[in-house]
A and B are shown apart, each in its own frame.
Chain A
Amino acid sequence: MINPMSLEGKSIIITGAASGIGKECAELCYSLGANLLLLDLNKEGLLAVKDSLNGGNGTVVIRDIDLADLDSIKSVLSDAKSELGCSYNGLVHCAGIPSVLPLRALSNEQFERVMRINTEAGLVLAKCFSSNSGHDTGRQASIVFISSVYGVVGSAANVAYATSKAAIIGMTKSLAIELVKKNIRVNCVAPGFIQTKMANGISSMFDNDYSEKIEEMHPLGWGEAIDIANAIAFLLSDASKWTTGAVFNVDGGFTAQ
């Protein structure tokens, strides 16, 4: 049986790979046959993820990097490329930080930090990836960004996060048009609430009803990281070779309103 979602022979960069959606994405892509460059701030986390990978035979390179240091991204990618031994075919920017703060409490520094990691780092990654020394120019490549349901609909005390995720959507559509000449597809996934450390951390800031309320907002209940990883893998694979500029809502029905 041919697997249309096979990533055999593809080299994929995944940011935020030590936990949550990024970790799940790394595990799935590896099992689908990919070589991986895994990036995260947390070195121990990356080592643990690398050790846990199974079901594939690709090469795995890890690098701990603070994506807020935008200038370091280029050299990390080119350095890791020589260790990996081949150009990149895919990029997934999963790294992201939340920001639950009312407007009056939101400092300029906090806003800029959220924008830098969630959005601007994605742009710099895409810039390095799409340069001729980044991606494998011989075949179609795929970039996947992570937006959010809060890039699409509003919520209180969430303006920095929502702005960073809405910007991802604008970035996705514009880059899709610009990079089509280089045979690079650009799409994003917009997840609903997923059971991750980040989401659970937010839940713990509220009363017990919060989790129930969140569940009520999703006709299919809470999501799991694997649900998002599956959609990412689909967008990385040739099964979606004609999809670009799309916002792929994977949100248990949250935005079906």
Chain B
Amino acid sequence: MIDLKDKNILVVGASSGIGEKTAVVLAEQGARVVLLARRESRLIEVCNTIGSDKASYCLCDVSDIESIESVVKKIVSEHGKLDGMAYVAGISDGDVPVKYLSYERQLTTFKTNYFAFVEFVRQVTKRGNYNDGLRIVAVSSVASLRGEKAHVAYSASKSAMDSAIRCIAKELGPKGICINSVAPSMVNTEMYQHFLEVQGEESEANMKAVGRQYLGLAETSDVANAIAFLLSPDARFITGITLPVDGGFSTT
């Protein structure tokens, strides 16, 4: 049973897609959620859907790494110590062949997908900012596990995230802190719908993307449920792992 009653959980990147659904699912299972993203109008909408007794929001551009310390401090002082964090913020630069992959482009991807994640972990795990049994779950990607043409920055940033998770799991395990990631493949989000509009459903790009997803396209709830499980007390003995939620993609 996924029981998150009265758990105080921060959802980073909560304004749409997997992050939005995660916030909704966590609240349904009893959590109080703090939603964090850049777009205030979207955050207000999501908070209204969930209900103001369960959800609140905080504006933050995660790529502004320096600001994360004060953002976490503010959240803890307003909402209390954290029991969990779901890090869903992530960006993809699309197809960029390595010859065009400048340092700056990589840095942009790494800032949101990797450096900001580690900084959030660093701040959230500071003494006084969390309750016993803290759970952290990040959204990685099957791109962390498999190579793909022209996807260097995105894939490497997700691999870096998973690598950091394994190291942090060992370091903070003795404090009872669990840290894991889930690795989805193509999920039915606004981002995917946009991709379909551009490429077309019958396109080679789409076939390639979903052809190895033996269970078809995922709904955001499939990923959100896995995140909710890993954030729950039931997942007490799970740390340092990357759980594929990919319809079988990474088996072949």
Binding site for B on A (CB under 8 A): 1-5, 32, 173-174, 176-177, 180, 185, 192, 218-220, 223-224, 227-228, 230-231, 234, 239-246, 248-253, 255-257
Query: Which residues of B from 24 to 43 have beta carbons under 8 Å from A?
Result: 25, 28-30
Q: Is the CB of B239 within 8 A of A176?
A: no
Chain B residues at the A interface, C-beta cutoff of 8 Å: 1-2, 25, 28-30, 165-167, 169-174, 176, 178, 214-215, 218-219, 222-223, 225-226, 228-229, 234-241, 243-248, 250-252
Residue of A2, A219, A240, A244 with most chain B CB atoms under a 10 A cut-off = A219
**A244 touching B237 by the CB < 8 A rule?**
no
- Which chain B residues lie closer than 8 Å to A228 at the CB level? 237
Which residue on B lies nearest to A3, using beta carbons? Answer: B1
The list of the 6 closest CB pairs from A to B, nearest first, reads: A219-B173, A256-B240, A245-B251, A227-B237, A242-B222, A230-B234
Contact yes or no, B239 A253, CB < 8 A = yes
**Contact between chains at B28 and A177 (CB < 8 Å):** no
A245 and B173 contact, Cβ closer than 8 Å, known pairs A177-B251, A240-B226: no
Partner of B250, one of A174, A245, A249: A245
Determine the chain A residues whose CB is within 8 A of the CB of B1 once the complex forms.
Answer: 3, 5, 32
Name the residue among A192, A223, A241 with the largest chain B CB count within 10 angstroms. Answer: A241
Can you list 10 A-B contacts (CB < 8 A)? A4-B225, A180-B248, A219-B171, A219-B172, A220-B239, A240-B226, A243-B247, A245-B214, A252-B238, A255-B240
Chain A residue at minimum C-beta to C-beta distance from B174: A219
Contact at B240–A253, with CB atoms within 8 Å?
Answer: yes
Residue from A32, A220, A249, A251 whose CB has the most chain B CB atoms within 10 Å: A220
Contacts of A2 in B (CB 8 A): 28
User: Could you tell me the distance between the alpha carbons of A230 and B173 in the complex, rounded to whole angstroms?
Assistant: 19
Cα-based distance from A4 to B246 in the complex (angstroms): 18
A252: contacting residue among B173, B228, B244, CB under 8 A: B173
Residues of chain B with a CB closer than 8 A to A248's CB? 241, 243
Query: Inside 8 A of B2's CB, which chain A residues have their CB?
Result: 3-5, 239
A242: chain B residues at CB < 8 Å are 215, 218-219, 222-223, 245-247
